[in-house]
Structure 1
Amino acid sequence: MTPNEVMGYAPAAAGAALALIALWAVLWVVRYIRADADTRVSIRQAVRVRRGWKRLAQMAGLSVTDKMPTALASLANTDGKSPKPRVLTPVLKVKPDRYGIVARANCLPKVSLAEFQNAAPYLADAWGCERVSVTPDGPGKVIIRGVRTDPLRHKTQHVPTGEAPVDVPTWHVGVDEYAQPVTVDLSNVPGITVAGLPGYGKTSVINRLVCDWAPSPAIQFVTVDGKVSTAREGDYAHLSKRMFAFAGDDLAEANAIFKRLVNLRSARSTSIESVLGVTNFWDVGPTEEYPLVVAIIDEAHTYFADHKGPDKKTKELAALAAENARLVGDLVKKGRSVGIVVILATQKATGDALPTAIRDVCPVGLSFAQKTAEAAVAALGDDIRNWPDANPTDLQNPAYVGVAAMKHNERPGFLRVRTPYVSAADARRIAEETAHLTRDPADLLMCQLPGGDVRRALLIKPDPADDIPEAA
């Protein structure tokens, strides 16, 4: 092709390039107009970050000098002098969202994850962010998250879809202080503790879990709630149709449920290999015929309180409380491998409210606002003293209702999480749509066991006098 022919195509190529630029500009403007006010600010912020990155990277120590000339520079050198060293900066790709920006960058020699993390405070100041975090994004790559506004102060609402979860053991808790999703894999988790002052979000975070998991027939729920007397009252009234059993603050009724669950645990332990072909439930995971059992014990201190007094009634309550602690301890210590997870919610997770033999076996812990350092340590362990920024005693501000400090079983240290609110109307809708999926796991197991005396020996139900009414 001759130079004249090439020049002939130049106007068309230039026109195509201009058309692409114009299309990109139109798409950018449309995206900007359709965005909410916070996202628009983030879009402008992202533009400033991209434009000033090379200069800022060098000032923040995120660049490296390459003294080795490239092959092209060597060929172009005609005066015999060595080419000037090149200053290399990581390539940065930036995306805005409602809270700030998410940037991805490549590492360079002597500019790795540690250097990015050390520079995070300087990046936060230069970008106008409240905080910046840097985490790995695979070999030789990092994610830089900058938040302009505090996600923990933004109240959020979760609307359940009513669709069965794809990954049953995954619990979507909320978002952290960088607006990143916080999930917990509950596979092989025996128990969860949820502590905090009244009205700060304990029940709401459990409601979200039930609403998200209720559409799956591979999960069955049972609840005892110390705040109410019947299933028609309180925070779980709208969800009770999706629970195969429910008890209120009556210690005898709760005791009957705990006995049922321990009998189920014992029967599953005895028969799991013959039914599932494995000795650990999580090797195959939950199914409709052999579901994961989620036992919710709200206001757990109600059932373990140490009753003292010489009268007959007080002695009976003390005996029930002691037995309740033993039964729940059995579930937490032995239920993991047979597909039983226990969620214990209480205001203060101190030893007098939640027996340490139970509390200390639970690897996942959340604590909403606490008044005292003692309560924070009881809920999250002594190590919370080393993480003052995450201490739940700092969450008493009304703006932090729904925010919890969390000990994650897959992350070091502690993080703060904004948990969303689930409305009563949505909870009622989910319960009504999924009520037909409610099954007693004991009945399901009976159908899979051999007949006759073997079945009766494996699964002994409580005495009729101790039985409780099914959930309304």
Structure 2
Amino acid sequence: MSDLTTLLEVGGPVAALGGGAAYARAKHPAAYWSTVGLPVSTVRLLSTYGSVMEACGLTVAPSRLRVLAARAMTRREVRPVPPRRGLLRPTTTGLRIRLRLAPGQEPADFAASAERLRHAWGVHAVYVTPVKPGVIELRLVGYDVLRRVRMPRKVAGGFLQVPVALREDATPFVRDYRTIPHQLTLGATLSGKSMYLRHLIAGLAPQPVALVGIDCKRGVELAPFAPRLSALATDPEQAAELLPVLVKEMEDRYDLIKARQGIAPGTPDEEITSDIWGLPEHERPVPVVLFVDEVAELFLVATKKDEERRDEMVTQLIRLAQLGRAAGMYLEVCGQRFGAELGKGATMLRAQLTGRVCHRVNDEASAKMALGDIAPEAVMAACSIPPERPGLAVAGDTSGGWSRIRTPYLSLTDAAETCRTSAGLVPDLPALEPFRPDVPERPVEHAAPVVLPHPVTD
């Protein structure tokens, strides 16, 4: 009986602790990492650092001076030397450590061994980032941060910068319109494309910018944000009227820039500009962000009569993509399907869209159209997105870099409320006033009477 009591006294708490840890790891991975995973991984990394580096081929032969000193003092054979490491810096999602590369090493050597390092140290993923010549940073991620997205509390943002998603290395994905002016976003139904667009609009709504929408789904995607929109077209006919106005606005801004460039010889260099950001603040026009949802609808025609209108719209979109950056006009082109078979101008338009975000798509051709000119492995990553993970996407740009991202959940009610409270920031653009969407007034909620009325009886 005493043995059974001892077993219960010792085994009960151990079983409860193990079960609690297993539950936390499955349901609350962040809490599990902070309490269990971080200490275990730290001990494992510090105790096996040298042997793991040697097994991965990331060590180098010691210097001649070190060999002579070791033989003179210990008369033992000197082992290969691993890179010198810095201090471990724990985070809420993993660990960060900086390494000074040995002579002859490069960051690509460590990137090629990232999978082996992940298994050796028992973490979810290992990412390599060059810091400066001769120094890299290893970012160890303790768990799958894309399974349940939690954006960092502090994100470095700014004007025309929107933290819209989380990368797989636990860093925020920030949509920066000054760096990447135009972007193509693709995604099938229920892939999370609308959520991504919702985050962009909600993030830009409190900023002093003009938001313009072309929603060929009869406005069902962008109509809830009407209080913050300066213009909205809900079908190709209205889009055909709106796009020339935007092109004319762009040309007027170029005239303003050229007028500024017609300057006297004694003008200081800092007053010479080639875009609106070099203009004085009181002369600078407000930036314009154009959201185009279901871009394929602008290309499709039912009769030959519509071909001329289609060609004009596509030409105007291409002109905005080619020349809009200097005028402070940016494009966010979205759709379920995008390919060369849409017609003349599709490939030319894609070539002007620097940023690419591809959610789950229904065909490989759309993924190739979005990411094929960036990296073949990005296309394979986009085609392997499972349907049960909406919001997961592959983001890249024409520089060749790409990564997996996932957008956190944002309800339509919260996004619409953000646009409603920011309605006073809609800039004054007279050219877009005819396209301003009608905003229905919210019904007045009457308070319930304090005293309930009673019927009058004889």
TM interval, shorter chain, is 0.7 to 0.9
Identity of aligned residues (%): 24
Distance 1:95 1:271, change over 3 A: same
Contact kept, 8 Å, 2:395 with 2:403, in 1: the verdict is yes
1:370 aligned to 333, 357, 361, which one? 361
CA change 1:88–1:438 in 2 (3 A) is: same
What's 2:234 paired with? 248
- Kept after mapping to 2: 8 A contact 1:173/1:183: yes
**184 and 236 in structure 1: CA distance in 2 versus 1, 3 angstrom threshold:** closer
Q: Identify the match of residue 149 of structure 1 among 143, 147, 150.
A: 143
Question: Which whole-Å CA distance do the structure 1 matches of 2:289 and 2:396 have between them?
Answer: 20
Q: Give deviations 1:99-131, integer Å, cap 9, x for gaps.
A: 443322222234442432343232112112343
> 1:5 maps to what in 2?
none
Q: Report the TM-score when normalising by structure 1.
A: 0.73
Structure 1 SS opposite 2:384 = helix
Matched, 1:349 2:343: no
Give SS of 1:358's match.
Answer: helix
CA pair 471-338 structure 1, distance change in 2 beyond 3 A: farther
Choose which of 417, 421, 424 in structure 2 pairs with 1:429. 417
Q: 1:239 aligns with which of 200, 219, 225?
A: 225
Q: Is the aligned partner of 1:306 residue 2:301? A: yes
Aligned match of 2:171: 180
Match of 2:402 among 408, 411, 414: 414
Return the alpha-carbon distance in structure 1 between the equivalents of residues 59 and 357 of structure 2.
Answer: 40
Q: Tell me if the contact between 1:160 and 1:426 (Cα under 8 Å) persists in the aligned partners.
A: no
Distance 1:252 1:159, change over 3 A: farther
- Give the structure 2 partner of residue 106 of structure 1: 100
Taking the aligned partners of 1:193 and 1:58, their CA distance within structure 2 comes to 44
What stretches of structure 1 of length at least 5 have no aligned partner? 1-34, 310-314, 444-460
In the alignment, is the contact (CA less than 8 A) between 1:159 and 1:422 conserved in 2? no
- The aligned residue for residue 17 of structure 2 is none
> CA 1:303–1:280 in 2, change beyond 3 Å: closer, same or farther?
same
For residues 64 and 285 of structure 1, the distance between their equivalents in structure 2, rounded to whole angstroms, comes to 56
Alpha carbons 1:376, 1:384 under 8 Å: kept: no
Give the drift of 1:338.
0.8
For residue 39 of structure 1, the aligned residue among 23, 29, 34 is 34
1:468 maps to 2:454: no
Mapping 1:13-32, distance limit 5 Å: none
Which blocks of at least 5 consecutive residues in structure 2 are unaligned?
A: 1-29, 261-270, 440-458
Deviation at 1:267, TM superposition (A): 0.9
Q: Which residue of 2 aligns with 1:62?
A: 58
Letter in 2 for 1:360: A
Change in CA separation of 1:375 and 1:300 when aligned onto 2, cut-off 3 Å:
same
How many residue pairs get matched?
397
Q: SS of the residue aligned with 2:133?
A: coil
Alpha carbons of structure 1 residues 382 and 281: separation in structure 2 relative to 1, 3 Å = same
State the one-letter code of the partner of 1:237.
A
The answer on whether the counterparts of 1:189 and 1:336 sit within 8 Å (CA) in structure 2 is no
Provide, for residues 360-386 of structure 1, a one-character-per-residue CA deviation record: whole Å limited to 9, x for no partner: 221111111122221211222345435
Q: Secondary structure at the match of 1:200?
A: coil
Q: 1:385 to 1:253 in 2, by over 3 A?
A: same
Q: 1:335 to 1:117 in 2, by over 3 A?
A: closer
Q: How much is the aligned-residue C-alpha RMSD, in angstroms?
A: 3.5
Provide the residue aligned with 2:246 in structure 1. Answer: 261
Measured in 1, the distance between the counterparts of 2:229 and 2:407 equals 23
TM-score calculated relative to the size of structure 2: 0.75
SS, match of residue 187 in structure 1: coil
The answer on whether the counterparts of 1:73 and 1:83 sit within 8 Å (CA) in structure 2 is no
Decide whether aligned partners of structure 1 residues 57 and 401 sit closer, same or farther in structure 2, where only a CA change above 3 A counts: same
Q: Given residue 259 of structure 2, which amino acid in structure 1 is its aligned partner? A: S
State the 1:308 CA deviation: 2.0
Q: 1:73 to 1:378 in 2, by over 3 A?
A: closer
Q: Give the match for residue 13 of structure 2.
A: none
**Change in 2 beyond 3 A, CA 1:160/1:273:** farther
Name the CA shift for 1:223/1:181 in 2 (closer, same or farther; >3 Å): same
Equivalent position of 2:118 in the other structure: 124
